[in-house]
Structure 1
Amino acid sequence: MRHRPRRLRLALAVLAACGALVAEAGVGTAQASPAVSLRAGAQGVIAPGVRYEEFSVHASHGTVYGHLLVADLTNRHVSVDLLTPGVVAAREPVSRMADAQGAVAGVNGDFFDIDEAQHPGVVSTGAAVGPAIADGVPFKAAVPYGQRFGPAPPPGTSTRDVIGVGYDRVARLDRLTLTGSVSTSGGTIPLRGLNQYAVPVGGVGAYTSLWGRTSRERAVCGSDQLRSAPCSRDTYEVTVRRDRVTAVSNRPGAGAVSRDGFVLVGREGGARALRRLRPGAQLRMSSGLSGDGSLRFAVGGFPVLRGGAPLGGLDGVTAATRTAAGFGPQGHRLYLLALDGSAERGAGLTIAELASLMRQLGADSAVDLDGGGSSTLVARSPGSHRVTVRNHPSGGAERPVPEGIGLFSR
């Protein structure tokens, strides 16, 4: 028996997958031309263990054009990591971050703090909603659920949900919780935040050099239930270098945080706890992100598919340009997807359709990432040392974002 070439097998799989999406969405398939097809000449290996595909699918709101990256995590040359501008509170185009870090391909990441119109005078931080781990280092923790940006996620999900890859090279969904505290001569102060744009009401958040130079004032605005709630007036900030308090302030400040120190920002009860600290006081901080497994890379996103089944309560009405990430049943194959968002091709997918598409493409579990103007997929051409944008971002150009998922082949 002759076996089909691998490239043809994947092409047929994508065709069958997207055809199933049409059926599940209730869209008729009796048409003169196929409702779903790979785009000729737009697929193939871009690096050892990494493939790129383009496809179109006829969904409930019209024909949608998509771009897919498939990474074989069992290939020893392939790795996955967080794309960043180097700090949490900053934004750059995905292509620039990918080239700077040497990625062969990637997509944009989590939803982020993009608009502070509800808090006049407060600077938008550009920081992402959920947790992030880069090369094994906790980059940031999650903001409270009510402080999230983006569409309403399905019931039972959390801003602490992530998709990640462990040191065992296996992809998985996880939920990362901040663990940490500050030890002082007068006792221990629990940490409720790490490099995040919103600290829980009554809590204390820590900011390291990974935060960047952006103002920390946004950290004390909003509430755990409502992002637009007023900024707290009961706040306190403590600056620490080499385990000693060097400065205190009644308001959160701005500017770079020393690599040999950190800044603590408290609101309400957290502010009262910090006011007991005086310049010269000695203290130690410990922090980490804990989940079900040991992750080398993680990025926030709300689950839409878990264990082969779409989550309940997914929106099946609102269509938009989407970005998603998922993995196969054993976590050995990673799928990164972004849709075109140009005006003439802006039909989009509902969240329910996105979950169905990811499942039919081969993913066992998947998360929805930031979409709309943020949706970006980049990849190198064979032999090139720079990536190019493969989808058509809304507005005609890349939107700067705080993070992305990078594929590396070395």
Structure 2
Amino acid sequence: MTKYKFPFKTTHLSLILALFICCSFQSNGYSYKHIKTDEPQSIHILEVDPNHFNIKPVHAFNMSLGRETVETLSKKNNAIAAVNGGFFKVDRWEGRPSGILKINNFWYGLPLQPRGAIAWDHNAKTVLMDRVTASVKISFSGKTYLIDGLNRPRKLDEIILYSSQFNSTTLTSPEGKEFIIINDKVVAIRNEGNSAIPPNGFVLSVGKCESSDFCNHILVGMPMYINIEITPQSNESTLKLWNSVPNIVGGTPLLIKNGHIIRDFSPEKTISSFLTARHARTAVGILPNGHWIFVVVDGNQEHLSKGMTMAELADYMFNLGSIGALNLDGGGSSTMVIANKVVNDPQGDIDEDQSLKKVRKVSDAILILEKNEY
């Protein structure tokens, strides 16, 4: 093993006292390094030039529900490389995004509170990072209504919108009423749940209609307009861009903004242990030259790789040169795939029958594709 000095901006972290590049390679448009530190940490770094490759998010089975491994998603899409994406639910609606996810202008999920996100255009050269909030509004009969959410379980006192990316049906309980919307028009009204969602259409599901003037004013044939708006928390001048880009992936927390490390993660309302304990991590960053950088830190391996705290990860991304960076899903989800092969050591989930480690299935991933594969 050969010892190298790595070109960090600053090296005030104890975890960067000694670095060993275990293996590395460079191809036209991307490079990969596997680095080990004395902490110990095992760190995988992938740098991608968007002039040579497309960068695309993808959800398992191209629906809001369901999970697949990063390796499977990479192979199915002929990707050069891939990392796991945003956080997700493992409840009855398994694989549902916990935060914002927009793929090629189709909505899969929205955040419930301010959370970090990265957004980009088709050529991955216009890139935005910020904490964002989201709202869903519907308009009909000259009035606009703020509703409760998108593509998530509907409570009895809620109004939820379901897109065709969610599932074949709404999976809602029998109570309430559902309005089928195609091409900005109400085409059917059903007095029960679990309605079929039309391709490229929506279903508006209302839990309690009996006491609602809202329901009584909706008729078949009536125009109904849907507006999903994303609001950046630190730069209102980018509002129009955030709402026009085709791809958005959520994470938490935002690590670096406009070249400055973020020290206060409290606006994103994550639990303390998630931030202060060392875990496996996945992060995405943008360099001053426009290149993307993906970092996966292995964790939960006391003598091989302990992982990083969130502050350590923010410092690490900064020292790699990132002017913007976002933490993605981590822990057992942290996976990097190159040439259809997992290059890190993910801890995944425990197989209760065989007590064996297995690679975790995730909801979504970020893929690196040849230009003709987008």
**Normalised by the size of structure 1, how large is the TM-score?**
0.72
Query: Aligned with 2:216: secondary structure?
Result: coil
Q: 8 Å contact 1:94–1:404 — kept in the other structure?
A: yes
Partner of 1:94: 70
Label 1:404 to 1:271 Cα distance change in 2 as closer, same or farther (>3 A): farther
Partner of 1:276: 216
Partner of 2:194: 253
Deviation at 1:81?
1.0
Partner of 1:81: 56
Partner of 1:24: 13
Partner of 1:366: 325
Query: Does residue 298 of the first structure (1) align with residue 234 of the second (2)?
Result: no
Partner of 1:118: none
User: Aligned partners of 2:45 and 2:307: how far apart in 1?
Assistant: 15
User: Aligned partners of 1:200 and 1:333: how far apart in 2?
Assistant: 43
Partner of 2:30: 50
Query: Aligned with 2:363: secondary structure?
Result: coil
Q: 8 Å contact 1:306–1:365 — kept in the other structure?
A: yes
Deviation at 1:304?
1.4
Give the alignment partner of residue 129 of structure 1, picking from 98, 105, 108. 98
User: Aligned partners of 1:350 and 1:82: how far apart in 2?
Assistant: 26
Label 1:67 to 1:214 Cα distance change in 2 as closer, same or farther (>3 A): farther
Structure 1: which amino acid aligns with 2:179? V
Label 1:278 to 1:285 Cα distance change in 2 as closer, same or farther (>3 A): closer
Query: Aligned with 1:394: secondary structure?
Result: coil
Alignment of 1:113-128 (within 5 A): 113-115=89-91, 123-128=92-97
1:312-357 per-position Cα deviation (integer Å, ceiling 9, x unaligned): 2356731101111111135x01111112246453411000000011
Partner of 2:354: none
Query: Does residue 108 of the first structure (1) align with residue 84 of the second (2)?
Result: yes
User: Aligned partners of 2:210 and 2:83: how far apart in 1?
Assistant: 37
Q: 8 Å contact 1:144–1:200 — kept in the other structure?
A: no
Deviation at 1:64?
0.9
Query: Aligned with 1:98: secondary structure?
Result: helix
Q: 8 Å contact 2:43–2:296 — kept in the other structure?
A: yes
Q: Percent identity among equivalent residues? A: 24
After superposing the two structures, state which structure 1 stretch, 295-304 or 311-320, moved more.
311-320
Deviation at 1:306?
1.7
Partner of 1:171: 127
Partner of 1:142: 110
Structure 2: which amino acid aligns with 1:82? P
User: Aligned partners of 1:84 and 1:188: how far apart in 2?
Assistant: 31
Partner of 1:311: 262
Partner of 1:222: none
User: Aligned partners of 2:293 and 2:16: how far apart in 1?
Assistant: 27
**Normalised by the size of structure 2, how large is the TM-score?**
0.78
Label 1:49 to 1:12 Cα distance change in 2 as closer, same or farther (>3 A): farther
Give the alignment partner of residue 408 of structure 1, picking from 356, 360, 369. 369
Q: 8 Å contact 1:238–1:274 — kept in the other structure?
A: no
Aligned pair count reads 339
Give the alignment partner of residue 19 of structure 2, picking from 24, 30, 36. 36
Structure 2: which amino acid aligns with 1:166? D
1:52-80 per-position Cα deviation (integer Å, ceiling 9, x unaligned): 2111123xxx301011110112x2x3121
- Structure 2: segments with no counterpart, 5+ residues: 232-237, 266-271, 349-356
Q: 8 Å contact 1:18–1:357 — kept in the other structure?
A: no
Structure 1: which amino acid aligns with 2:8? A
Deviation at 1:279?
6.6
Give the alignment partner of residue 184 of structure 1, picking from 110, 130, 140. 140
Q: 8 Å contact 1:78–1:408 — kept in the other structure?
A: yes
- Structure 1: segments with no counterpart, 5+ residues: 1-7, 30-34, 116-122, 146-157, 219-232, 381-386
Structure 1: which amino acid aligns with 2:204? L
Q: Superposition RMSD on alpha carbons, in Å?
A: 3.4
Q: 8 Å contact 2:111–2:134 — kept in the other structure?
A: no
User: Aligned partners of 2:197 and 2:26: how far apart in 1?
Assistant: 42
Query: Does residue 390 of the first structure (1) align with residue 349 of the second (2)?
Result: no
1:339-393 per-position Cα deviation (integer Å, ceiling 9, x unaligned): 224645341100000001111112111111111111111111xxxxxx1111111
